[in-house]
């Protein structure tokens, strides 16, 4: 897991697609009609781009407990679903940073569509060198991002740098499992070269070395495997639903989601939900 390694081009190539926002809005209108309300809750069927969808974002904020008026950072914000939902639900200000230009443009367009441009700011950039001052966020979170990052110590150090003393960081990650390497493609990578999974124990060590206090560290593999298995069985039985990640990622996501489920079911991946704190001064 090389420190300083840069896999930006591979990551961007994996996620980049065209016309993401317009395809999402068109799919919603097709299913719900032209009067479909374009709210963070309705968009959540597609724009929380991680295996657990909005349910997993709810678990994350139950730990993070964002408060009205706070400045929250979403590291690897994707197309902005969690940022919009959290900003509108908790009346806070969320800054999302993401490496993939097409995702950043989609996030900005969906911020406009939902009327949230004043509460959600999107910045294109790397989690490993964020263009933010030291100590400028109250809380931060990151969902299913570190699997794309080889330099995990660098990721955690940078997250700590931009948090205020006493600030909280919530993480929800796919981690390495005990039973061998994952099957590819997976939703975050087409091939092993772009996938970097740490074990739960390595993740804990990296966080402690970055100076964080561990407040909660939960291995959620069993719960996650059950949710993924239900999704896999539905996909295999019924094919892709009208609304899903394939609307912007294309039909290739189906094989990746099925592998994602099999990996969890076979113990080739595990999953963790973590809450850590930057020590107060």
Ligand X SMILES: C[S@@+](CC[C@H](N)C(=O)[O-])C[C@H]1O[C@@H](n2cnc3c(N)ncnc32)[C@H](O)[C@@H]1O
Whole-angstrom Cα distance, residue 110 to residue 188? 22
Q: x/- string (CB under 6 A) for ligand X, residues 150-189?
A: --------------------------------------x-
Shortest distance, position 45 Cβ to ligand X, whole Å: 13
Q: Which is nearest to 187 in space by CA: 123, 264, 101, 132?
A: 264
- Give me the sheet containing 120-124, strands edge to edge: 120-124, 93-98, 71-75, 137-143, 163-176, 269-277, 213-219
For residue 145, state whether it binds ligand X (rule: CB under 6 A): yes
Tokens of 216: 């909660």
Total residues binding ligand X (CB under 6 A): 24
Please report how close the Cβ of residue 48 comes to ligand X at its closest, in angstroms. Answer: 5
Least distance to ligand X from the beta carbon of 256, Å? Answer: 10
- Residues 31-70, mask of contacts with ligand X (x by CB under 6 A): -----------------xxx--------------------
Query: Residue 127 interacts with ligand X (CB under 6 A)?
Result: yes
271 contacts ligand X (rule: CB under 6 A): no
Among 40, 52, 82, 244, binds ligand X (CB under 6 A): 82
Here the tokens at position 149 are 């990052």
Which residue from 20, 94, 120, 128 is in contact with ligand X, where contact means CB under 6 A? 128
Sequence-ordered alpha helix ranges (H) in 16-97? 20-32, 40-47, 53-64, 81-90
> According to CB under 6 A, which one of 52, 53, 81, 260 is a site residue for ligand X?
81
For ligand X, which is the closer residue by CB, 154 or 177? 154
Quote the least distance from Cβ 188 to ligand X, whole Å. 5
Instruction: Please give the residue whose beta carbon sits closest to ligand X in the complex.
Output: 78
DSSP string computed for 29-49: HHHH-TT----HHHHHHHHS-
Identify the three-state secondary structure at position 72: strand
* Min CB(178)–ligand X separation in Å: 23
Contacts 24+ apart (CB under 8 A), 253-259: 253/187, 255/185, 256/185, 256/186, 256/187, 257/51, 257/187, 257/231, 257/232, 258/232, 259/182, 259/183, 259/184, 259/185, 259/186
Choice from 40, 52, 78, 154 touching ligand X (CB under 6 A): 78
**122 φ, ψ to 5°?**
-115, 130
Classify the C-alpha dihedral 145-119-212-59 as positive or negative. negative
Considering the complex, what minimum distance in angstroms separates the CB of residue 6 from ligand X?
A: 8
Q: Dig out the tokens for 73 from the structure.
A: 């950072």
Residues near ligand X (CB under 6 A):
11, 15, 48-50, 76-78, 81-82, 97-100, 103, 126-128, 143-145, 148-149, 188
């Amino acid at each position: 897991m090389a420190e300083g390694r840069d896999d930006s081009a591979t990551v961007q190539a994996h996620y980049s697609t065209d016309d993401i926002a317009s395809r999402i809005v068109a799919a919603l209108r097709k299913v719900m009609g032209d009067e479909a309300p374009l709210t963070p809750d309705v968009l959540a069927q597609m724009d929380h781009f991680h295996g657990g969808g909005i349910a997993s974002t709810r678990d994350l904020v139950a730990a993070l407990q964002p408060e009205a008026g706070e400045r929250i950072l979403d590291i690897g914000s994707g197309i902005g679903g969690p940022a919009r939902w959290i900003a509108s639900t908790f009346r806070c200000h969320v800054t999302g940073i993401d490496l993939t230009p097409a995702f950043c443009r989609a996030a900005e367009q969906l911020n406009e569509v939902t009327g949230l441009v004043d509460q959600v700011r999107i910045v294109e950039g790397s989690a490993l060198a964020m263009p933010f001052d030291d100590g400028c966020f109250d809380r931060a979170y990151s969902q299913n991002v570190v699997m794309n990052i080889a330099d995990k110590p660098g990721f955690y150090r940078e997250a700590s740098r931009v948090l205020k003393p006493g600030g909280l960081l919530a993480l929800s990650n796919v981690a390495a499992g005990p039973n061998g390497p994952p099957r590819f493609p997976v939703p975050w990578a087409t091939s092993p070269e772009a996938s970097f999974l740490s074990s739960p124990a390595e993740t804990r060590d990296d966080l402690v070395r970055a100076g964080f206090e561990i407040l909660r560290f939960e291995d959620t593999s069993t719960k996650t495997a059950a949710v993924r298995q239900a999704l896999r069985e539905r996909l295999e039985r019924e094919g892709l639903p009208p609304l899903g990640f394939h609307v912007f990622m294309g039909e290739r996501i189906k094989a990746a989601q099925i592998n994602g489920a099999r990996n969890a079911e076979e113990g080739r991946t595990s999953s963790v939900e973590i809450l850590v704190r930057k020590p107060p001064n």
